[in-house]
Structure 1
Amino acid sequence: MSSINITVPDLPESVSEATVSKWHKKIGDTIKRDEILVDIETDKVIIEIPATHDGILTDIIVNSDSSVKAHQILGIFNSLKTSNPCKSFHIPDQINSLDSHKTNYINTEQVQSLSPSMRRLVHENDVQPQILKNNNCHTIVSKEKIKEHSVNSFISSSRSQDEKKPASLTTQDRSEKRIPMTLFRKRMAERLLQTKNTTAMLTTFNEINVQPILTLRKKYGLAFENKHSVRLGLMPFYIRAVIESLKHYPEINASIDDSEIVYHNYFDISIAVSTPRGVITPVLRNADILSISDMEKTVKELATKARNNKLNYHDLTGGTFTITNGGVFGSLLSTPLINPPQSAILGMHAIKDRPMAIDGQIVILPMMYLALSYDHRLIDGREAVGYLEKLKSLLEDPTRILLDI
């Protein structure tokens, strides 16, 4: 066998540290080449570190929730150079039936063959060393088994004591749990505070009648799916209308860099996606040249990668404008926060049937509120209101997008 270090790979540019998110293997586990050993988390992505060889994990140097830097050693595993690795360890049934008193079955020769830490664990947990030794692999497997036995014994003892308690004493405990905030959450909190403290943020609202888009989707949805092998959703209509409106109001697609205004002549649209880690914003690049079907496929792919922690750093950087849709969770109205260094973000919300006055008549229509949060240092109220009016006209009459009017 040869020892191989498990190290942190090169981190993305501008990322100085990461956090050990999760170990997928325990000390003593047999691992196969390319199996994922550990996940490390940056403020944007999760990086999976695979095994480079077959082997056995012998040491975990950095535990979960610890901060690490590039090339830092996380753990060690022994590479297997033969086809017969140490067999899996089995503890006989008698280990579960040990009495509470100290066992008298300790063999001095076997105890001396163990490491000092192993000898301490043997005595502390009343485990017979002769059932721990297994083809010279006891230092790899035994610690986990001993600890597992100790924990199981404690749980069994606790349960037996609880069963003896009167019913009046077994009420639910008032407990608390503290866990370290992940690096992603820390960074997100910093960015949100940065947005609040460094931008002159305002939000303006409008509402749209979604019926024309729903009618179009119902009429052509089946034909679209048969041809492109993907369902026709509402997001491509929103994205297309957003881009056409940005062309009329380039300030909203711009950003501030120190004392300069940067106008982007391209449209990289960030789409907010909710994941177990929090909200992240993968970027739909060159969205203005994508077809409706390409938009639908790409958005679906990015959302799937986001929820499975498969996004890379490139997928999350460089957006010029953000769309967030709280309506999928039932949100009726909100004031979204700008995603720096961008200057504006569009919030879309739940579609609700509401009575509306149309040509003097009360009509029930599927309505949705739009919210545009913007940096007043760059965007004036006139541009913000005009942008939403343009967006409203395109969404309520999608034909305008085709005719460019």
Structure 2
Amino acid sequence: MSTEVRVPTLGESVSEATVATWFKKPGDPVAADEMLCELETDKVTVEVPSPAAGTMGEIVAAEGETVGVDALLATITEGEASKSKSAPAKEAKDDKAKTAQAASGSNGDKGNTDVMVPTLGESVSEATVSTWFKKVGDSVAQDEMLCELETDKVSVEVPAPAAGTLCEILAQEGDTVQAGGKLAILSGSADGTIEPQKRPEPADEASDDKPAASGKDVEDAPSAKKAMAEKGVSRDQVQGSGRDGRVMKDDVAKAAAAATQAPAASSTPAQAPRAASPAEDAEREERVKMTRLRQTIARRLKDSQNTAAMLTTYNEVDMTEVMALRNEYKDEFNKKHGVKLGFMSFFTKACCHALKEVPEVNAEIDGTDIVYKNFVHIGIAAGTPTGLVVPVIRDADQMGFAAIEKAIAEKGARARDGKLSMAEMQGGTFTISNGGVYGSLMSSPILNPPQSGILGMHKIQQRPMVVNGEIKARPMMYLALSYDHRIVDGKGAVTFLVRVKEALEDPRRLLMDL
């Protein structure tokens, strides 16, 4: 009896993922709930457990392939492995081939086959051609990867719908294509018969013993890119072990270990620097095209500046009382609640307190309406190796210090591991950004649309302050509130920031709701 392993739900508005790593191979025994493989999207990493105990059957989706929700990944043969364990997988592949043939417009006879843009996902209508793995004149096998497309959500690999020869590329790298558009034309037929096409003569004839493709022509696994960013390892230092030299996560770990064991470079006599020409400087530059995701981030931030009447007001807070309260109770707090007492819970509670008095900072504009939120979902900006994410703590105004600290710790860990779901980053009504952890003394945060306010925290620095007529060194922090002046007046913004300042300088006000 066979059990199918299928792609689980990937999160709101995420319809596709990339198979990053298989932990098992055909014939391996597996236990129920044992991890079989890891899938990656542009936001989260999803581990796929075994639905039953048995023997690993055929793997339908290999590492690097793009799969949709509920797509067949592999089969599990319950009990001992049998010769028929690959039958369901074979049928699935046959169905996949038939679907690809139908979508391409091929009728099975010898002739040309169109390579079309696949379905890109919910509400996604266009993509950018990022990489072609084949060039005109190359022979391709059915299901061999031809190119990769990028949307603002996911990367989509396009397989060959039939075996043949790539005779024409209609959409070049960097071109924007629509869903259902034509990418290229294959000559040949789905049965593998190839009609030879005259291949354009290259400018320089390549040597027969030269590799067909370098590692740079193959898109590396998303988990490998993340690992390289975390460990500071360049692509040139890693030898790929995946398909066509694709770099996998384990390859990065091996390269990082080898780099730490490598002997230090021998010192050479110092030489006087020579002025480089602009042409030589250009040779040392590296030009990398922005990903669709980064383009979307840039567009959203610029749209925020173009749409909102954004203004920033500043104040400073004396952190003496908060630091004293934290130092007095942090050990007892950790012992009872199992989580450290940080500053973020104080700021979150202070913001919730101030938002009750100035509700327009917690509201948003929808056309000609103002939508007031009778709840507070606080977004906590967190830096990760792959970029800035903003997980949301829902109903923070109903939570105590311990619940807030636990939520921040849990979501921060999930953010660093790349395991946040789309749902965990949506629905925020107000955002707190702590640039102080990186040493920022002063900044103007940008609004996170459609929110109308964001609080910027900064580093705590000892500064001379006048206290009761005496100059004393006090731990001070600058606060910045960026707000949408279309909905929040200057009076409301200043009042909000003053209430946050008052609550932090005298935390007892939070208890007394003052």
TM-score over 0.5 (shorter chain): yes
Does the residue aligned with 1:334 lie in a helix, a strand or coil? Answer: coil
Could you say which residue in structure 1 is the equivalent of 2:452? 343
Partner of residue 364 from structure 1, selected from 468, 473, 494: 473
Corresponding letter in the other structure for 1:374: Y
Q: Is the CA contact 2:24–2:37 (under 8 Å) kept in the aligned structure 1?
A: no
**Letter of the aligned partner of 1:265 in structure 2?**
N
Which residue in the other structure is 1:399 paired with?
508
Q: Does 1:23 align with 2:21?
A: yes
| Structure 1 residue 352, shift from structure 2 partner | 0.8
SS of aligned partner of 1:378: coil
**Larger relative contact order (C-alpha < 8 A, sep ≥ 6)?**
1
The answer for the alignment partner of 1:227 in structure 2 is 336
1:196 correspondence with 2:305: yes
Residue in 1 aligned with 2:380? 271
Counterpart of 1:129 in structure 2 is: none
Question: What are the Cα deviations for residues 214-264 of structure 1, in whole angstroms up to 9, with x where unaligned?
Answer: 111112222222322322211111111111111110100111112210111
Q: Which residue of 1 aligns with 2:352?
A: 243
Residue range with higher mean Cα deviation, 44-53 or 194-203: 44-53
Larger displacement relative to structure 2 (18-27 or 277-286): 18-27
TM superposition score normalised by structure 1: 0.68
Which aligned pairs between 1:93-112 and structure 2 lie closer than 5 A? none
Picking from 407, 412, 418, the partner of 1:309 is: 418
2-structure distance, mates of 1:391, 1:299: 19
Contact 1:210 1:368 in 2 (8 A): yes
CA shift, 1:27, in A, is: 7.7
Question: Where does residue 326 of structure 2 map in the other structure?
Answer: 217
Output the CA distance in 1 between the equivalents of 2:285 and 2:76.
Answer: 42
1:38 aligns to what? Answer: 38
State the shift of 1:210 in Å.
Answer: 0.5
1:389, distance to aligned residue in structure 2 (A): 1.2
Residue 202 of structure 1 and its aligned partner are, at CA, apart by: 1.3
Taking the TM superposition and a 5 Å limit, the aligned residue runs for 1:57-76 are: 58=59, 60=61, 63=64, 69-71=68-70
Partner of 1:298: 407
TM-score normalized with structure 2 length: 0.55
Distance in 1 between residues matched to 2:8 and 2:424, nearest whole Å: 19
Unaligned ranges ≥5, structure 1: 87-115, 117-122, 126-143, 149-166, 168-173
Q: CA deviation at 1:343?
A: 0.8
Distance 2:16 2:242 in 1: 31
SS of the equivalent of 1:298 reads: helix
Residues 254-263 or 218-227, more deviating: 218-227
Amino acid at match of 1:41: T
Contact 1:372 1:384 survives alignment (8 Å):
yes
SS of alignment partner, residue 294 of structure 1: helix
The alignment covers a number of residue pairs equal to 323
Query: After the TM superposition, which residues 123-142 of structure 1 pair with which residues of structure 2 at under 5 Å, given as runs?
Result: none
1:20, CA displacement in angstroms?
Answer: 2.4
The alpha carbon displacement at 1:206 in A equals 0.9
- Return the alpha-carbon distance in structure 2 between the equivalents of residues 253 and 350 of structure 1: 25
Residue 357 of structure 1 aligns to a residue whose secondary structure is: strand
The one-letter amino acid paired with 1:257 is D
Cα offset for 1:368? 0.6
Cα distance per residue 1:361-397 (max 9 Å; x no partner): 3211111111111111111222111211111111111
The Cα of 1:328 is off from its aligned counterpart by 1.0
Of residues 278, 283, 295, the one that matches 2:392 is 283
Other-structure match for 2:429: 320
Preserved contact between residue 10 and residue 46 of structure 2 (Cα < 8 Å): no
Aligned counterparts, 1:128-167, within 5 A: none
Deviations 1:278-323 (A, max 9, x none): 2211221221221112221222122122222333333222111111
Distance across 2 between alignment mates of 1:323 and 1:252: 13
- The 8 Å contact of residues 26 and 56 in structure 2, kept in 1 or not, is answered as no
What letter corresponds to residue 41 of structure 2 in structure 1?
A: E
Q: Provide the C-alpha distance between the structure 2 equivalents of 1:182 and 1:39, rounded to a whole number of angstroms.
A: 20
Deviation at 1:2, TM superposition (A): 6.9
**SS of aligned partner of 1:244:** helix
CA contact 2:19–2:61 (8 Å) conserved in 1:
no
Separation of aligned partners in 2, 1:201 and 1:40: 36
The residue type equivalent to 1:37 in the other structure is C
Q: Higher mean Cα deviation, 23-32 or 197-206?
A: 23-32
User: Comparing both structures, which one devotes a greater share of its residues to helix?
Assistant: 1
Deviation at 1:272, TM superposition (A): 1.2
1:262 is aligned to 371
CA distance in 2: counterparts of 1:179 and 1:71, whole angstroms: 34
> Equivalents in 2 of 1:193, 1:72: separation in Å?
37
Q: Is the 8 A contact 2:25 2:56 kept in 1?
A: no
1:9 Cα deviation after fit: 4.3
Write out aligned runs for 1:380-399 (5 A): 380-399=489-508
Gaps of at least 5 residues in structure 2 are 84-191, 193-207, 211-240, 246-267, 269-282
Correspondence for 1:132: none
Letter in 1 for 2:374: N
Change (3 A) 1:146 1:361: closer
Q: State the distance in 1 between where 2:422 and 2:472 align.
A: 48
Give, as a single letter, the amino acid of the residue that structure 1 aligns with 2:434. Answer: N
Distance 2:429 2:75 in 1: 47
- Are residues 331 and 275 of structure 1, via their aligned partners in 2, closer, same or farther at CA, if it must alter by over 3 Å? same
Deviates more, 1:262-271 or 1:189-198: 189-198
- Once the two structures are TM-superposed, the CA of residue 350 in structure 1 deviates from its matched residue by 0.7
CA 221–192 in structure 1, closer or farther in 2 if over 3 Å, else same: same
Partner Cα separation in structure 1 for residue 410 and residue 451 of structure 2: 23
Given that 1:18 and 1:183 are in contact with CA atoms closer than 8 Å, whether structure 2 keeps it comes out as no
Question: Quick one: which amino acid aligns to residue 494 of structure 2?
Answer: V
Q: Which residue is 1:93 aligned to?
A: none
Distance 1:335 1:147, change over 3 A: closer
The 3 A distance-change label for structure 1 pair 232 and 145 is closer
1:380 partner amino acid = D
Q: Deviations over 1:129-161 (max 9, x none)?
A: xxxxxxxxxxxxxxx89978xxxxxxxxxxxxx
Aligned-residue identity in percent: 40
- The equivalent of 1:354 in structure 2 is 463
